[in-house]
Amino acid sequence: MRFARRLAAGASFLAALTAQAAADADIVAAREAFRAGNAKALEQIRARTAGHPLASYPAYWHLSATLERADPDDIRAFLAKHADGPLADTLRRDWLRLLGNTGQWDVFRAEHPALLSDDAEVACHALQSRILNDDPEALKEARALFLAGREAPAACTAPFEAAASRQVVGSPEIWERVRKLLAANLQKDARRANAMLPAREQFNEKSLERAAAGPAKYLAGEKSKIPTRATHELLLYAVGRLARSKPEEAAAQLESHADVLGAEDTRYGYGQIAFVAAQSHHPRAPEWFARAGEGKLTDAQLAWKARSALRAGDWAAVRGAVNAMSPAEARDPAWRYWLARGLADAGSREASAAILGPLARERHFYGLLAAEDIGRVEKPDWTANPPAEEDLARLRAIPSIQRAFALYRLELNAEAFREWVFGLKNMDDRGLLAASQLAAEAGLIDRSIGTADRTLVRHDFTRRYPIPHREALAASSRQFGVDEAMVYALIRQESRFNVAIKSRVGATGLMQLMPATARWVAKQIPIDPYRPALLTDPQTNVAMGTYYFRRVLTDLGDPILATAGYNAGPGRARRWQDAKPLEGAIYAESIPFNETRDYVKKVMANAWYYHGRLAGRSPSLRQLMGTVPGRDGANAAAVAALP
């Protein structure tokens, strides 16, 4: 009897496992059916998975696929039932878009206040709804959005046209928008704005096409005797386009049209030329910025004026550029730090210290530099601080966290991430550290790091800077002569230790090797036979990535150049050098690619922390950044040979 009961219990357990596996497979199949637009299959799966912990997903996918014909009561029922997760807000957003597009304003007004997320299309529908209700503030908001000069969804057309018809927006505002859109090369939106002008004021769209396709030819051929606003804008657009490839020619053409454009528009043109030239480190960029003045420069232009001035060692220009920025832009840690350095250079030590003091309390690249500058470096506490069981229990009880782990188990990573973020919104430091530990226990090291990184006061640096795969990293570091802390720093930024991660462009594994680079490295080490599947093996990936970084470091001769080269390519890293040596932090801040600029700063901050964790002490970040040597051409051939 006892054996029979055991046999029955075993059979029952096996049946439960089989049923669970089938139900899990249904969840994955539901997502595939949603992607394929198969509403019939979704309906069948939705019915089968009603009792599954992830039942909300097939139900959501079915409703989303049939939203245009769905019963509003069914939508409201789903929103009420699943308010404890991100799907309700996503469905409400999509429903609001549909309601706005179809003009169902009463229902829109009833549902819109419950939307939690920001959405440009819904925001414009909301403006239109308020305009239809004769809300005068809505017209003012439409005007402000119009003048922001950003790309706008089609839903914004109605409130923009309403603002124009009620004379809240007139020709001057339309031209201001056109100018901003053309500066960003948003031709489609510029044409929409152009169509709002009286016919006699509009620019000719064929002329716009000519200015875009051949700016030099357009500028050379433009000889209008009676210049109009349209003439000015197309001339300035062509100048900006030409500056991308030939800034000196663009400056010469601008000067040739200066009498037609007038002083103010000529200054605007120089701002466009200087902005583009600074990003290619053209030596005349500071001169062109000086001709532009600071009064009309955008935050993006002022940022590059500051970077150009940093490379030139012109601290007065750095101070002037940062002081001219909007308050929001000037609060960026980079500009607070460089303004403080500029003030110190001018002898204003107290004003400099007043900026560096608060900045030094922030845990990032510029916070570390600021702390070193004022001698207040706070060494991290590397003692693990496990969360209390009550905090772990609190996190385990959150439905969205439960669903996140279930979705990660099924490798539905995008859905899992949204549940994770939703479950941790407004979470305190104790909760974040508990969540970080739960993620680590589940093998989700990337989620563990990202969650620990969010704490404000209570920190666990062992979670922020973990040391997995220690044996593989130590072996590769010794074999190829690369600092182990640097390898950890790279991996933390590349993949956050997710061994299977693959980027949109195909970079794979811990050190995010591109397919062509991996094939090249496999021949050098060598790895024979090599196959792409090896890139998800931690030991192989780390060995290949460390070897490649060593080659880049050897050929470029500097760790900052090598770090930039690892992300953007060795050739670009070398082109970004100056003729003269540059402080490492200035080189990093003046990298033209936003992603690479951020990457280098984060990797080097990571390296500072990992030196402390692995060796018990760390050189200063300023030492790690060092001085990037001037361009000499000696290593150009070696760099060109790298993939």
The neighbour count for residue 558, using CB atoms within 10 Å, is 20
Residue the block writes with tokens 């992603």: 595
Q: Provide the Cα torsion 128, 131, 132, 133; round to 10°.
A: 130
pLDDT of residue 637: 52
Kindly tell me if the per-residue pLDDT of 3 is higher than 60.
no
Contact 149, 180 (CB under 8 A): yes
pLDDT in tens, 169-178: 999 999 999 9
pLDDT in tens, 621-633: 999 999 999 987 5
Q: Provide the Cα torsion 96, 101, 107, 108; round to 10°.
A: 50
Q: Are residues 425 and 278 in the same domain?
A: no
For this structure, is 222 an active site residue? no
Is residue 171, in this structure, part of any structural domain at all? no
Closest CA to 182 of 157, 143, 212: 212
Based on the structure, what is the number of domains in the chain? 4
Q: Are residues 631 and 532 in the same domain?
A: yes
Could you please report the per-residue DSSP string of 431-449?
HHHHHHHHHHHTT-HHHHH
Q: Are residues 251 and 286 in the same domain?
A: yes
Task: Take residue 93 and report the two structure tokens written for it.
Answer: 């957003």
Q: Are residues 481 and 612 in the same domain?
A: yes
Taking residues 381-398, report their average pLDDT. 95
Domain ends where: 427, 459, 491?
459
Kindly tell me if the per-residue pLDDT of 8 is higher than 70.
no
DSSP code for 527: -
Closest CA to 48 of 71, 19, 76, 77: 19
pLDDT of residue 638: 57
pLDDT of residue 640: 58
Task: Take residue 374 and report the two structure tokens written for it.
Answer: 């004022």
Q: Are residues 617 and 487 in the same domain?
A: yes
The one-letter code for the residue type at 134 is D
Domain ends where: 404, 438, 459?
459
pLDDT of residue 22: 80
Judge if the upstream peptide bond of residue 570 is cis by omega within 30 degrees of 0: no
Contact 524, 550 (CB under 8 A): no
Q: Are residues 419 and 497 in the same domain?
A: no
290-294, 343-347, 604-608: segment of lowest average pLDDT? 290-294
pLDDT band at 10 (very low <50, low <70, confident <90, very high): very low
**SS3 state at 513:** strand
Task: Tally the C-alpha atoms within 13 A of residue 180's C-alpha that lie toward its C-beta.
Answer: 20
pLDDT band at 5 (very low <50, low <70, confident <90, very high): low
pLDDT band at 222 (very low <50, low <70, confident <90, very high): confident
The neighbour count for residue 544, using CB atoms within 10 Å, is 27
Contact 548, 556 (CB under 8 A): no
Quote the distance between the C-alpha of residue 406 and its chain's center.
27
Q: How far is CA 633 from CA 1, 58, 281, 629, 639, in A?
A: 86, 59, 17, 11, 10
pLDDT band at 1 (very low <50, low <70, confident <90, very high): low
Phi, psi dihedrals of residue 177, rounded to the nearest 5°? -65, -45
Catalytic residue among 233, 484, 494, 589: 494
Q: Are residues 622 and 541 in the same domain?
A: yes
Is residue 138, in this structure, part of any structural domain at all? no
SS3 string of 89-154?
A: HHHHHHHHHHHHHCCCHHHHHHHHHHCCCCCHHHHHHHHHHHHHCCCHHHHHHHHHHHHCCCCCCH
Residue the block writes with tokens 């769209």: 205
pLDDT band at 385 (very low <50, low <70, confident <90, very high): confident
Q: Are residues 488 and 397 in the same domain?
A: no
The Cα–Cα gap between 56 and 27 comes to: 10
The Cα–Cα gap between 78 and 76 comes to: 5
**SS3 state at 583:** strand
DSSP code for 44: H
Q: How far is CA 352 from CA 313, 355, 356, 371, in A?
A: 18, 5, 6, 12
The Cα–Cα gap between 633 and 596 comes to: 22
Taking residues 192-206, report their average pLDDT. 96
Contact 404, 420 (CB under 8 A): yes
Task: Take residue 604 and report the two structure tokens written for it.
Answer: 């080097």
The neighbour count for residue 29, using CB atoms within 10 Å, is 18
Is residue 345, in this structure, part of any structural domain at all? no
Contact 241, 209 (CB under 8 A): no
Buried b (16+ CB within 10 A) or exposed e, 67-79: eeebeeeebeebb
Is residue 258, in this structure, part of any structural domain at all? yes
Kindly tell me if the per-residue pLDDT of 16 is higher than 50.
no
Kindly tell me if the per-residue pLDDT of 2 is higher than 80.
no
Domain ends where: 459, 478, 513?
459
The Cα–Cα gap between 115 and 101 comes to: 17
Kindly tell me if the per-residue pLDDT of 33 is higher than 60.
yes
The Cα–Cα gap between 303 and 324 comes to: 10
pLDDT in tens, 102-151: 999 999 999 999 999 999 999 999 999 999 999 999 999 999 999 999 99
Q: Are residues 395 and 483 in the same domain?
A: no
Is residue 11, in this structure, part of any structural domain at all? yes
Say which CATH number the domain at 521 has: 1.10.530.10
pLDDT of residue 14: 43
pLDDT of residue 595: 98
pLDDT of residue 631: 87
Q: Are residues 446 and 544 in the same domain?
A: no
Domain span at 612? 470-641
pLDDT in tens, 467-499: 999 999 999 999 999 999 999 999 999 999 999
| Averaged pLDDT score across all residues of the chain | 94
Q: Are residues 523 and 426 in the same domain?
A: no
Judge if the upstream peptide bond of residue 153 is cis by omega within 30 degrees of 0: no
Kindly tell me if the per-residue pLDDT of 641 is higher than 70.
no
Q: Are residues 513 and 631 in the same domain?
A: yes
First to last CA, the chain: 70
Residue 564 CB-density burial (10 A; 0-12 exposed, 13-18 middle, 19+ buried): buried
pLDDT of residue 9: 42
Is residue 195, in this structure, part of any structural domain at all? no
Let me know the angle formed at the C-alpha of 629 by 624 and 634, rounded to the nearest 5 degrees: 130
pTM given for the model: 0.93
Is residue 566, in this structure, part of any structural domain at all? yes
- Percentage of the chain with pLDDT > 70? 95
Is residue 141, in this structure, part of any structural domain at all? no
